[in-house]
Structure 1
Amino acid sequence: MVAETPSRQAWIMLGGAFLAFTVGASVMHSYTVFLLAFVADFGWTRAESSLAYSVGQLVGGASSPLIGGLVDRIGARRCVLLGGCLLALGLLGSAFADALWQVVFLYGVVMTVGANCLGLLVFVPLISRLFVRRRGMAVSVLQSANAFGRALSAPSSQMLIAGLGWRGAYLAAAAAMAALVLPMAAIFRRDPPVAASATGPGAAAARQWTLAEAMRTRAFWLLFLVYMFTSIGSFLVSLHQIAFAVDVGFDPLYAAGVLGMGSFLAFPGVIVTGTLSDYIGREASALLAYGISIIGVICALFITASDQHLLLWLHGCFFGLTWGARGPAITAKTADLFPGPRLGTILGVITIGSGLGAAIGSWAAGFIFDVTSSYRTAFLLSIAAYVAGSGAFWALRTPRR
């Protein structure tokens, strides 16, 4: 059954996907706050404390083809059930962890696979079919959940840790996740009518791509590089933002609040840039987001003392505004280029680049700090990675006839 415009049930599913993705993202991004608690409690170095996060990014990338293929076979509802259960188990186990390998396994493997089942790989194939004419807008709303979850995670996790300790905070999060699993999965119990195709960048092509066919194209590997360089640029900064601010001399709760408020700007930022991509093109929208992110990183380079509140706010706002803002344009571009029933599998393989880049960026920032006692080199490399990502994405543009 085909509908000319997205149905009411399609909008409900978009809302449900946003909720599920927000929950998963907030759990995973909270590690940036727990990192300092691990350093204080266990005496780990920054590189050691970053290991679980880096492993998580590698596992996230490596498991992406499996999750993409899984959602093509069993649907979003069962993936959400699986993901919610894995996250609840991972959070519960983390509350009793007392060794580095346990944190690495629980966060880097169990929770990462769970979050993947509540993320883009599961929902983009569904949403891109339901909102063909407004694909950029719909994907941007979905992807803004990542930014919204990130914004919620820093201040809420900091308050939970301050009040309950980091073990108590994990227990509270596990209980909340267990309570949310079934309601989230129930939203996806049936598929709504699929929106009809339209002319324009969101139009469905007649060709139904397979993974093997997609991998033989130049566009596939350019998208892989875009995901990788973008993640390197983002995670050279994001995981260590609070640690950087605290090292400079800012109060931890104040720093979490400032960076959390900045991250809230990503909610409208992602939606605006994603919607713009329907009108000005995916490439132009992404380049705008890259430029704003670079400005945010430059602001951090100039922070040298705890009285530079304005620079901290500017860094938080500019970097936060475009956190994930390139995602809708990149993801929508993938759906534009490789439509069909195997989109989840194709997107899953391309997303390996994102996991690889995030692992490199998050671990490298901690290693650079351990060697140089500064994040300056990491921030400079972040800018270079953003420039490389923007170049690769611009190469995907379709020349005007």
Structure 2
Amino acid sequence: MNQMQTGTRSPKLFYGWVVVLITFVTLLVAAGIRAMPSILMLPFEKEFGWSRGGISGVISVGIFLYGLVGPFSAALLAKFGIRRIMMISLIVLASSLSITPLMTHLWQFQILWGVVAGLGTGMMANVLGVTVSNLWFVKRKGLVVGMLTASAATGQLLFLPLLAKIIVDIGWRYAIYTSVAAILVLVVVVAIWMRNHPYDLGIAAYGSDEVAKPDVFKGNIFITPIQTLISALKNKTFLLLAGTFFFCGFSTNGLIGTHLIPACGDYGIPEIMAAGLLAMMGLFDLIGTTLSGWLSDRFDNRWLLFWYYSLRGLSLLFLPFALESGPTSLIIFSVFYGLDWIATVPPTVKLASKEFGREKAGMIFGWVVVAHQVGASVAAYSGGVVREWLGSYTLPFLSAGLICLIAALMAIRIARKSATAAA
């Protein structure tokens, strides 16, 4: 009875919002670090003589592993708790970055950033945001997922101008040192203030009056996600969500996140200015994806995805002309594209949760993210290879625009029963 009374009191600030804030900042910083190879590409070409295709291959592996670890991350978060897994991931990431300034060969870059950093950041990806929202919130889940998703994309873009300026002024190694310092601060914050579940504090989840114990994870952390995938592959909704997310990854962090700065360099646009365009996208994505989370609580998520993919496709078809036209057109592209950078995540999460239930939502969405990162990996590598062959990024940008239009048509084929927004 005392526990129930504690849980039903109305505190001035629900602690779940503190958890959301810590998760938001962690995802922000981790995503910004994950995006660093896009601004390291040109310095590495000059210092080490590595080809753009070779560097793109490292980025491709990192993006793929970042996605692949997602379903297993959901199982680890469920079994060992959010705080412990976040701390381990941050320490692994800091260790990888600390060794980076000592590397001299491409294979070392592949191990440190393609493998270790890819796995480390993958543990702090969208699955973390979905897990936090499911454990701490009964209501406002879409809004929370939108905020946390936006933090990942915004961090990926927001820190690039600062890091690019550090690289230009004093060298890329100091950008690495700055990132390590930020991670170590986060380790302390997570250790002191992060909590795994409302039950740890004797309170109910937001929107609930019941102080409920967390579900005990049952199964093997490696086998259970694979069994979940095998079962999901028989479901049409899962296949459509995974297919559209493949195209989503291809058209966002795989292509634009990796190659926009080098593409701007082909047109004589300075690296810092190009990073500024990505930062602008990040700011508008914070607005667009948070708004998308709010909309996903209220409207048919299939049609939200239809419009998001359609508008993104049109913006990518416009990009080659914007690069040729100059700064004004690129600013227009950055604003328009930024609003839609990953606004697709909240509706996709809602559709997955509605179809598969709260218990499986984390792992199901983890596998959907794997499809996203496979698409991103393909775009990251093929974009660099096509640029070497043709001397231009026009074909990759136009191709990405067209496949987004295909994704829009796929979205409205999702079964209507899965599309109704949950309260």
Structure 1 residue aligned with 2:171, among 156, 165, 171? 165
Structure 1 residue aligned with 2:394, among 359, 364, 376? 376
1:325 partnered with 2:325: no
Match of 1:249 in 2: 268
AA aligned to 2:122 is N
Structure 1 residue aligned with 2:321, among 297, 302, 305? 302
Contact 2:146 2:294 in 1 (8 A): yes
Match of 1:8 in 2: 14
- Give the alignment's TM-score, normalised by structure 1: 0.90
Contact 2:304 2:347 in 1 (8 A): yes
Secondary structure of 1:132's counterpart equals coil
Contact 2:20 2:132 in 1 (8 A): no
Match of 1:206 in 2: none
1:255 and 1:304, CA in 2 relative to 1: closer, same or farther beyond 3 A?
closer
Structure 2 residue aligned with 1:359, among 377, 380, 383? 377
Match of 1:136 in 2: 142
1:114 partnered with 2:120: yes
Shift of 1:141: 0.8
Greater alpha carbon shift after TM alignment, 95-104 vs 369-378: 95-104
Match of 2:201 in 1: none
Match of 2:205 in 1: 194
Shift of 1:368: 0.8
Secondary structure of 2:76's counterpart equals helix
Shift of 1:213: 4.3
CA distance in 1 between counterparts of 2:342 and 2:264 reads 21
Q: Structure 2: state its 5+ residue gaps.
A: 199-203, 210-223
Find runs of 4+ consecutive structure 1 residues off by over 6 angstroms: 1-7
1:287 partnered with 2:306: yes
1:35 partnered with 2:54: no
AA aligned to 1:143 is T
Shift of 1:304: 5.1
1:4 and 1:331, CA in 2 relative to 1: closer, same or farther beyond 3 A?
farther
Structure 2 residue aligned with 1:268, among 287, 294, 313? 287
CA distance in 2 between counterparts of 1:352 and 1:5 reads 39
Shift of 1:311: 1.2
Shift of 1:397: 4.2
CA distance in 1 between counterparts of 2:318 and 2:331 reads 9
Q: What are the Cα deviations for residues 54-98 of structure 1, in whole angstroms up to 9, with x where unaligned?
A: 001221232222212111211111110011001101111112111
CA distance in 1 between counterparts of 2:206 and 2:235 reads 28
Secondary structure of 2:242's counterpart equals helix
Greater alpha carbon shift after TM alignment, 370-379 vs 216-225: 216-225
1:299 and 1:5, CA in 2 relative to 1: closer, same or farther beyond 3 A?
farther
CA distance in 2 between counterparts of 1:4 and 1:136 reads 24
Q: What are the Cα deviations for residues 345-385 of structure 1, in whole angstroms up to 9, with x where unaligned?
A: 22222322112111001111111101100101101110122
AA aligned to 1:188 is M
RMSD: 2.5
Shift of 1:231: 0.7
AA aligned to 1:270 is T
CA distance in 1 between counterparts of 2:168 and 2:110 reads 23
Matched length: 390
AA aligned to 2:321 is F
CA distance in 2 between counterparts of 1:340 and 1:325 reads 21
AA aligned to 1:63 is V
1:311 partnered with 2:329: yes
CA distance in 2 between counterparts of 1:263 and 1:122 reads 20
Contact 1:299 1:315 in 2 (8 A): yes
CA distance in 2 between counterparts of 1:232 and 1:134 reads 29
Q: What are the Cα deviations for residues 312-338 of structure 1, in whole angstroms up to 9, with x where unaligned?
A: 111222222211111121122222222
1:388 partnered with 2:394: no
CA distance in 2 between counterparts of 1:3 and 1:147 reads 35
Q: Structure 1: state its 5+ residue gaps.
A: 199-208
CA distance in 2 between counterparts of 1:389 and 1:368 reads 23
Secondary structure of 1:52's counterpart equals helix
Secondary structure of 2:357's counterpart equals coil
AA aligned to 2:169 is G
Q: What are the Cα deviations for residues 33-56 of structure 1, in whole angstroms up to 9, with x where unaligned?
A: 111111121222221121111001
1:226 partnered with 2:244: yes
Structure 2 residue aligned with 1:178, among 173, 184, 201? 184
CA distance in 1 between counterparts of 2:57 and 2:240 reads 28
Structure 2 residue aligned with 1:236, among 255, 271, 274? 255
Secondary structure of 1:158's counterpart equals helix
- Give the alignment's TM-score, normalised by structure 2: 0.86
Contact 1:297 1:379 in 2 (8 A): yes
CA distance in 2 between counterparts of 1:351 and 1:3 reads 36
CA distance in 2 between counterparts of 1:348 and 1:105 reads 23
Greater alpha carbon shift after TM alignment, 144-153 vs 353-362: 144-153
Contact 1:147 1:264 in 2 (8 A): no
CA distance in 2 between counterparts of 1:65 and 1:303 reads 38
Contact 1:56 1:112 in 2 (8 A): yes
CA distance in 2 between counterparts of 1:26 and 1:263 reads 10
CA distance in 2 between counterparts of 1:345 and 1:72 reads 10
Contact 2:246 2:376 in 1 (8 A): yes
